[in-house]
A and B are shown apart, each in its own frame.
Chain A
Amino acid sequence: MLYREALNKAIDECMAEDESVIILGEDVGRYGGSYRVSEGLFSKYGEKRVIDTPIAELSIVGNSVGMAIAGLRPIAEIMTENFSLLAMDPVINHAAKLRYMSGGKITMPLVVRMPGGVSRQLAAQHSESYENLFTSTPGLIVLSASNATYAYHALKWAIKSNDPVIFLEHELLYPMEMEFKEIENFDPFKAEVVKEGKDLTIITYLKMRYDVLEAEKELSKAGIDAEIIDLNSLRPLDIETIAKSIKKTKKCVIVEEDHKTGGMGAEVVSQIMENCFYDLDAPVLRIAGEDVPIPYNRKLELSTIPTPDKIVSKILDWKAQNGI
């Protein structure tokens, strides 16, 4: 199943089940969605439940917050994560806080979906990730879907959640053909151990999962048996799964596409320090995007983000440097 089809299936099933579920965003209706996620839904559910909006992110999320307060279950789509900056006020000041400020009287069954990350030559204003902004906001749940199975189950879970969920996707994942399986007793907050290993733990999420898997083939040729963990949920963070793995491997590498400084990886490292310090046999290695605006030129663009080659060489250098 294609990644985007898994998202479509989740939305479609929830909309069929519950009339209060609606979607809104730029080109989600007649056009079927910029990445074809909402394909077919407009003709099925009509313009009252599949709403094409103006190019105005503040209004998309602001209206969604109002709908959620009034009892609907809106799924807002932001075309690119960079654009979500315009919607930060309703996300942070309203969605994240109203349940708390109303003493629990108001619930916020809202999902804001958005793709982020470096795609192919979309340049500095369309290539960023803001995991760090969302995950540092109390009141928000932040999920990142790297694969069809998690995307389907987690999005369904998010739509049914009475708390606001920021649902992060990646532009390069939409057309990818992926394995899909139905899961009973799905837990959106559980990190996935993608591959078990004993020598070191590689923590990653979203599209970097695939770069890490590619790099792992080379590492394995070099005799390194890596354990790979896909975080899935970025807030809350499943530190238990991470701690369990580090207890076994004693070494940890974090691979993220976002800029290194103050990124998601920095928070993961902090929690590792708090929970696993005495299990570590080497300083944690962060492999992240460079601290520069993402360039347009393809070669320069690739030079600013982790690639399988870079992941392998950085891990080998780090091992040599630390004598492990």
Chain B
Amino acid sequence: MEYKVVMPVLSDTMDKGKLVKWYVSEGQYVNEGDKIAEVESDKATMDIQTFKSGIVKKLLVKESDEVPVKSVIAIIDTEAKKIKSEKESSKEQISDSNERNKKESAEIKTQNSTLNTQSPSTHPIFHPSTHKPLIPSTLPKGSASPAAKKLAGEYNIDIEKLQKNGSLPIPAHEEDINEFILKRYFTPAALKLLKEYKIDENEFKLDHKITKIEVLEYIKENNIPKITPLTPNQKAVIKTVENAITKPTYFIFDEIEVTKKEGIKLTALLIKALANAMQESPLTRSIIKDDIILTYPASNISIAVSRDEGLYMCVIKNAEEKNLEEINEWLKTIKTKRLSIEDLSGSTFGISNLGMFNIERFNALINDKDAGIAAFGSLTQGKIKVTFTLDHRILNGVEGAKFINNFKKEIKNV
């Protein structure tokens, strides 16, 4: 016979009760009158007791859950007889065999062994507990691994039906069921957030459809960071700028006069003037390699270009031979074209322009092996503030100053 324990009505106004604590667990024997749980009504907390003896077959409510009054919270099997607990019986077994061993050693005193000998039969491995593997109470039909069926049973998932309509593969594995459970309780947008933020689905109570809004609330409440791995470009930029700060550099601050030309980008003018000035200062066309200096004939200039996917130092080759229109065209295409290694290497000097963002003055970090970089601010009343960052290993102050004077001359002529 099954005896059902229900949530008691503790007051006139009580319609729900909260199960605060179980005093018993499944499989435990209880006597009539034993306290089995503590419950909380809208007014008070009190213990409830069982009116029949038997074995607790099932606890239907989890601790701190609220359930309506008179709903069944536990089932007690009143026909089950009390059996000895595992501990008690194994204790007896061990003491039995100890007893036997003592007797034995008394009988076999003929042995002259001086070793601290042992009888392995007292080892617990020879006395397996009566514990049997737990057989799940409900197992769905369908073709699936035992682990998948066990999990599906816990969530009342009908594997057979889902395999018929193609929602689950045949045979289904645990991973498939897990995925199905996630889809059942989370909207696609919510699932995407879980992945992006690496949130464990068990952080949510799986008893309703969880939307993006609920996940976002959780993220906000717990201040969980979004995880974005660095892109290859970001890693490359980090490497370049970290390398840049190891160089012995110095700054030259100056101001140049520029006249804008119709249809030509300001940066194109700066590139052209710099390329011409570089022709007169061989060291700006040089890089250091181990214990030699390599001086190239071409004015190859690296330009800081901000593209959708990140910051790139794009290199314009032989800028001294290109006219303004060509440079202007290059600046337009480099923004969107597919970049090759050729587009990103071979420079000896750099340009960074933040003028269009209304920055008055700034200084830049030297790119790769370049001898220096010129950082341009905004054009105000025909003037631009410029900061040169120069690698002192390649250019000394005097050479730097001469180069900048040449540049100032050239910018007037382009």
How far is the CB of A234 from the nearest CB of chain B, in Å?
12
Task: Please indicate the chain A residues that have their CB under 8 angstroms from the CB of B134 in the complex.
Answer: 278
Task: Please indicate the chain B residues that have their CB under 8 angstroms from the CB of A274 in the complex.
Answer: 133
How far is the CB of B165 from the nearest CB of chain A, in Å?
19
Complex CA–CA separation, A109 to B116 (angstroms): 12
| Chain B, range 87-144, C-beta contacts under 8 Å to A | 100, 103-104, 107-108, 110-121, 123, 125-126, 133-136
Q: Which residue of A lies closest to B103 (CB)?
A: A104
- Taking the complex as formed, is B148 at the interface, i.e. its CB lies under 8 A from any CB of chain A? yes
- Taking the complex as formed, is A293 at the interface, i.e. its CB lies under 8 A from any CB of chain B? no
Complex CA–CA separation, A278 to B149 (angstroms): 8
Q: By the criterion CB–CB under 8 Å, are B119 and A162 in contact?
A: yes
| Chain A, range 153-197, C-beta contacts under 8 Å to B | 157, 159-163, 187, 189
Task: Please indicate the chain B residues that have their CB under 8 angstroms from the CB of A250 in the complex.
Answer: 147, 174
Complex CA–CA separation, A236 to B127 (angstroms): 11
Q: By the criterion CB–CB under 8 Å, are A278 and B113 in contact?
A: no
Q: By the criterion CB–CB under 8 Å, are B114 and A163 in contact?
A: no
Q: By the criterion CB–CB under 8 Å, are A280 and B145 in contact?
A: yes
**Of A19, A160, A187, A278, the contact of B133 (CB 8 Å cutoff):** A278
Q: Known interface pairs A107-B108, A250-B174. Does A17 touch B115 (Cβ–Cβ under 8 Å)? A: yes
- Taking the complex as formed, is B173 at the interface, i.e. its CB lies under 8 A from any CB of chain A? yes
Q: Which residue of B lies closest to A279 (CB)?
A: B147
How far is the CB of A209 from the nearest CB of chain B, in Å?
21
Task: Please indicate the chain A residues that have their CB under 8 angstroms from the CB of B136 in the complex.
Answer: 278
Complex CA–CA separation, A275 to B129 (angstroms): 13
Q: How many residues of B contact A (CB 8 A)?
A: 35
Task: Please indicate the chain B residues that have their CB under 8 angstroms from the CB of A278 in the complex.
Answer: 133-136, 146-147, 149-150
How far is the CB of A191 from the nearest CB of chain B, in Å?
11
Q: By the criterion CB–CB under 8 Å, are A236 and B125 in contact?
A: yes
Complex CA–CA separation, A162 to B322 (angstroms): 97
- Taking the complex as formed, is A71 at the interface, i.e. its CB lies under 8 A from any CB of chain B? yes
Q: Known interface pairs A278-B135, A281-B174. Does A163 touch B107 (Cβ–Cβ under 8 Å)? A: no
Q: Known interface pairs A236-B125, A275-B133. Does A21 touch B112 (Cβ–Cβ under 8 Å)? A: no
Task: Please indicate the chain A residues that have their CB under 8 angstroms from the CB of B107 in the complex.
Answer: 105
- Taking the complex as formed, is A20 at the interface, i.e. its CB lies under 8 A from any CB of chain B? yes
Q: Known interface pairs A238-B125, A278-B136. Does A18 touch B113 (Cβ–Cβ under 8 Å)? A: yes
**Of A73, A238, A243, the contact of B113 (CB 8 Å cutoff):** A73
- Taking the complex as formed, is A210 at the interface, i.e. its CB lies under 8 A from any CB of chain B? no
Q: By the criterion CB–CB under 8 Å, are B146 and A19 in contact?
A: no
- Taking the complex as formed, is A78 at the interface, i.e. its CB lies under 8 A from any CB of chain B? no
Complex CA–CA separation, A281 to B113 (angstroms): 51
Q: Known interface pairs A71-B110, A278-B150. Does A161 touch B118 (Cβ–Cβ under 8 Å)? A: yes
Task: Please indicate the chain B residues that have their CB under 8 angstroms from the CB of A318 in the complex.
Answer: none
How far is the CB of B144 from the nearest CB of chain A, in Å?
9
Complex CA–CA separation, A160 to B111 (angstroms): 13
- Taking the complex as formed, is B282 at the interface, i.e. its CB lies under 8 A from any CB of chain A? no
Complex CA–CA separation, A187 to B118 (angstroms): 12
Interface size grouping (class) on chain A: 35 or more
Q: By the criterion CB–CB under 8 Å, are A20 and B126 in contact?
A: no
Q: By the criterion CB–CB under 8 Å, are A160 and B146 in contact?
A: no
How far is the CB of B96 from the nearest CB of chain A, in Å?
12
**Of A71, A105, A107, the contact of B112 (CB 8 Å cutoff):** A71
Task: Please indicate the chain B residues that have their CB under 8 angstroms from the CB of A280 in the complex.
Answer: 145-147
Q: Known interface pairs A163-B119, A278-B134. Does A19 touch B145 (Cβ–Cβ under 8 Å)? A: no
Complex CA–CA separation, A70 to B125 (angstroms): 28
How far is the CB of A154 from the nearest CB of chain B, in Å?
12
- Taking the complex as formed, is A323 at the interface, i.e. its CB lies under 8 A from any CB of chain B? yes
Q: By the criterion CB–CB under 8 Å, are A279 and B114 in contact?
A: no
Q: Known interface pairs A20-B112, A160-B115, A323-B169. Does A281 touch B123 (Cβ–Cβ under 8 Å)? A: no
- Taking the complex as formed, is A324 at the interface, i.e. its CB lies under 8 A from any CB of chain B? yes
| Chain A, range 101-156, C-beta contacts under 8 Å to B | 104-107, 109, 141
Complex CA–CA separation, A20 to B117 (angstroms): 12
Task: Please indicate the chain B residues that have their CB under 8 angstroms from the CB of A107 in the complex.
Answer: 104, 108, 111, 119
Complex CA–CA separation, A250 to B147 (angstroms): 7
- Taking the complex as formed, is A41 at the interface, i.e. its CB lies under 8 A from any CB of chain B? no
Task: Please indicate the chain B residues that have their CB under 8 angstroms from the CB of A323 in the complex.
Answer: 169, 171, 173
Residue of A104, A157, A238 most packed against chain B (CB within 10 A): A104
**Of A14, A17, A162, A238, the contact of B118 (CB 8 Å cutoff):** A162
Task: Please indicate the chain A residues that have their CB under 8 angstroms from the CB of B123 in the complex.
Answer: 187, 189
| Chain A, range 1-54, C-beta contacts under 8 Å to B | 14, 17-21
How far is the CB of A9 from the nearest CB of chain B, in Å?
16
Task: Please indicate the chain B residues that have their CB under 8 angstroms from the CB of A141 in the complex.
Answer: 120
Q: By the criterion CB–CB under 8 Å, are A277 and B133 in contact?
A: yes
How far is the CB of A176 from the nearest CB of chain B, in Å?
28
Q: By the criterion CB–CB under 8 Å, are B115 and A281 in contact?
A: no
- Taking the complex as formed, is A276 at the interface, i.e. its CB lies under 8 A from any CB of chain B? yes
Complex CA–CA separation, A109 to B123 (angstroms): 16
Complex CA–CA separation, A264 to B317 (angstroms): 72
A-B contact pairs, 27 of them (CB 8 A): A18-B115, A19-B112, A20-B111, A20-B115, A73-B113, A73-B115, A104-B104, A105-B104, A105-B107, A107-B108, A109-B113, A160-B118, A161-B118, A162-B119, A163-B120, A189-B125, A233-B125, A250-B147, A275-B133, A278-B134, A279-B147, A280-B145, A280-B146, A280-B147, A281-B145, A281-B173, A281-B174
Other contacts beyond A280-B146, A322-B173: 20, CB < 8 A: A17-B114, A20-B115, A73-B115, A105-B104, A106-B108, A160-B117, A161-B119, A161-B120, A162-B117, A162-B120, A163-B120, A187-B123, A189-B123, A189-B125, A233-B125, A278-B149, A279-B147, A281-B147, A281-B175, A282-B145
Give 5 nearest A-B pairs by CB, closest first.
Answer: A71-B111, A281-B147, A18-B115, A281-B145, A281-B174
